[in-house]
Structure 1
Amino acid sequence: MIPLVIGLALLGAFALMLRREPRRLANGVVLLFALLFTLLGMMDLDTDSVVGFATAMLIILSPLLVLVLAGLLMANGVQMVRREGRRVANLMSFGLGVALLAPYVLFVVAVISESVWFATVLASITLVVSYISFLLVAFLLYSFVYLRLPYERGMGAIVVHGSGLIGARVPPLLASRLDRALEVYRAEFAVGNHPLLVTSGGKGSDEAMAEADAMAGYLIDRGLPDTAILREDRSATTRENLLFSKDLLAACGVSRMVLVTSNFHTLRTAIFARRLGLDAQVVGSPTAFYYMPSAILREFVGILFEHKWVYFGVCLAMAAVPPLLVLAVAVIPGEQ
């Protein structure tokens, strides 16, 4: 009964947080805790049963699920390299798959060596991996929720974020964003609104033209009038996309906007927009399935990096617990 009460209370807190400010990762953390407590409460188990059930799941399912996940991530990494080229970003899913196998390797070493300190290192790694995994699940859960939140109609502008060109050609990932922006524009136009559409992206060293110009050409070819388009052709990062588009729209007297990016990038873009003080909501466009694991991992790492010292401090504190416990046991005198 108590877990159910806690879960429902956390769900209420999540609803209030969502209403107040939906552009926070903390919402996902609260939602995940709420769902976990609610699930335990609905199972109506006593404390011993809850502990026994959780222990059984950890012992039986966790190793199997982790091994399966590691295999899938490594396979996706190989696929990413074949399709997108051998770059660090494309190796992230493969690297995570290898990292997930590390605790098992350490476990085997600890068993063979019968070393307390190997077991201690294993415990430290497990705690840190569990913490990062919890944050990743919260990120995935809330990204799924945020994508399904309706944006408010009547925005003054629609800002499409660039994602790179192939020479002067708009590739599928960017085309998907532009198609989604056209959907939003036409939906606004159908109810009598006339928002500006901002194409945001500068010229990369391997691109034949600025992304903003190529994006504008793509939209004009599909029937959008040139007079409805503003080109922001200086930005090279998401942060610059937002700042330069904000300045461009401020000159036109527009402050409220909807941002269009890929579905995997929506939550991080929304968090950026909140920190920069933009009156903006975010919608996402579809992405090829094979591209999603690496892209989601990049987004998650990017969010962690924004508060790297906080997360590093928590990980360091958790990793220190097992060795401190071992040292504490070692200095406690045995019973006489």
Structure 2
Amino acid sequence: MSILPLLLFILYYSLGFAAIFFWRKKKIEPDQLFFQGIWLLVAVVLYTGTLEILKGSFYFLIPLLFFFLFYLIYRKNRARLLNGVLFQFFLVIFGLYLLYNFYLTKDWLIAGLFFAALAVFVLLVAFGLIGLLVFLYWNAIVVLKKETHTIANLLTLILAIFLTVYLIANYFLKSKSPWYIEIPFTFLSIVLVYLLANFVIFLTSTLLYQFYYPKYNQDFIIVLGAGLINGERVTPLLAKRIDRAIQFYQTQRSKTGHPIKLVMSGGQGPDENVPEAVAMKRYACEQGILENDILLEANSTTTYENMCFSKELIENQGIVNPRVLFVSNNYHIFRAGMFAHQAKLPAEGIGCKTAFYYLPNATLREFAAILLMHKRMHLVLLSIVAMYYVLSTLVYLFH
């Protein structure tokens, strides 16, 4: 193996690592891990490309083309599940390319990268379900201690119990059961695999949506409501949303001076004394925001209505092609972005952080909500599978 490509890799990876470190160091949200991860992928492609060019081939262009396809579609609309599908597909293509590159070049750095990724995958498959169960039970205990015992806050516990029962039944019953139990059980297994695949796509799409860094030239920031304490005070969760909007508002005013208004969006629920937007405005004013810089949208009861009614309010301000952001918790901004797209509101979301223990339940709720948004498609696909198993059973019985 020639030492020159390896030295080149060390050189341009080190330079890129240092450049990204100092570039992101002074940012409000450095996200070093994300940007360094992207650079590592780029550096690997540059390295493998160098090896290939020395061998007279150019197959490294294939994963690059898939990545650029993903990126173009992602840039056009960041809030869709197709982004997760394309990114996962890119990772598969990239893994296959690394395997081919090792076959072509016999370079052990490439082999190390490939087998490290393969080892992680094997460990996830072998121990992922056990680890998931341990994590779900642990999270359920923490949530039960810190939150109210509502169905929404018990999702991790319900999922853990269901998976435990399923695994026990799968081990003890399936192989020894008659056909009329085995076939439905197999169908249930397929449904679970289908849901798992959709969850991976959803999670990938949600994570990709987090990495957005808007310019400080926005005209409006919509803050999405989230319930009140005693019907009149913002909750800690809602306060974090408002604080995130205030942070951006103040940074823009100090950096560029571009005028910006906060749109407090939230109607009045049956158990609330005032509209959420009014309580949100009161909180923002207590943090030093000028009252004239706050607009109220106090009629919405859903995230979709948040987007529709806020859009109407913004259009009435008379700004041509306004630049708009919205703020919600990081687990919610992907679905909120889907609603913004449906409402034809050209806005992207920035998220505020959520307590780690709260994320699993919140993520499961978001996943369930997105499944319901596409329920027809899922029902059609699962119905086709169910029909196949019904026909298979009839053939088995009457053969």
Q: What range is the shorter-chain TM-score in?
A: 0.7 to 0.9
- Equivalent residue, structure 2, for 1:33: 89
- Equivalent residue, structure 1, for 2:221: 158
Q: Which string of whole-angstrom CA distances, capped at 9 and with x for unpartnered residues, describes residues 113-154 of structure 1?
A: 343443333332222211211111121122112111222442
Give the distance between the partners of 2:302 and 2:62, measured in 1 at CA. 41
Give the distance between the partners of 1:323 and 1:69, measured in 2 at CA. 32
Question: 1:148-227 alignment to 2 at 5 Å?
Answer: 148-167=211-230, 168-190=232-254, 191-227=256-292
- Equivalent residue, structure 1, for 2:26: none
The answer to whether the aligner puts 1:284 opposite 2:284 as a matched pair is: no
Give the distance between the partners of 1:224 and 1:61, measured in 2 at CA. 48
The answer to whether the aligner puts 1:18 opposite 2:83 as a matched pair is: no
Give the distance between the partners of 2:65 and 2:323, measured in 1 at CA. 33
User: Cα–Cα, structure 1 residues 94 and 6, in superposed 2: closer, same or farther, change >3 Å?
Assistant: farther
Give the distance between the partners of 1:298 and 1:307, measured in 2 at CA. 15
- Equivalent residue, structure 1, for 2:298: 233
User: Cα–Cα, structure 1 residues 331 and 234, in superposed 2: closer, same or farther, change >3 Å?
Assistant: same
User: Cα–Cα, structure 1 residues 61 and 283, in superposed 2: closer, same or farther, change >3 Å?
Assistant: closer
Q: CA deviation at 1:305?
A: 0.7
Q: Give percent identity, aligned residues only.
A: 32
- Say whether the 8 Å CA contact 1:7–1:36 is kept in structure 2: no
User: Cα–Cα, structure 1 residues 165 and 127, in superposed 2: closer, same or farther, change >3 Å?
Assistant: same
User: Cα–Cα, structure 1 residues 33 and 326, in superposed 2: closer, same or farther, change >3 Å?
Assistant: farther
The answer to whether the aligner puts 1:271 opposite 2:338 as a matched pair is: yes
- Equivalent residue, structure 2, for 1:146: 209
Give the distance between the partners of 1:323 and 1:274, measured in 2 at CA. 39
- Equivalent residue, structure 1, for 2:140: 77
- Say whether the 8 Å CA contact 2:67–2:90 is kept in structure 1: yes
Q: CA deviation at 1:205?
A: 2.7
Give the distance between the partners of 2:216 and 2:260, measured in 1 at CA. 10
Report the RMSD for the aligned CA atoms in angstroms: 3.0
- Say whether the 8 Å CA contact 2:80–2:205 is kept in structure 1: no
Query: TM-score, normalising length from structure 2?
Result: 0.73
The answer to whether the aligner puts 1:115 opposite 2:178 as a matched pair is: yes
- Say whether the 8 Å CA contact 1:84–1:90 is kept in structure 2: yes
1:27 partner SS: helix
Q: Which string of whole-angstrom CA distances, capped at 9 and with x for unpartnered residues, describes residues 203-251 of structure 1?
A: 2233332211111111111111111001112222111111111111111
Q: CA deviation at 1:328?
A: 5.0
2:331 partner SS: helix
How many residue pairs get matched?
326
For 1:90, give the aligned amino acid.
N
> Unaligned 5+ residue runs, structure 1?
none
- Say whether the 8 Å CA contact 2:147–2:153 is kept in structure 1: yes
The answer to whether the aligner puts 1:98 opposite 2:158 as a matched pair is: no
User: Cα–Cα, structure 1 residues 69 and 26, in superposed 2: closer, same or farther, change >3 Å?
Assistant: same
Query: TM-score, normalising length from structure 1?
Result: 0.86
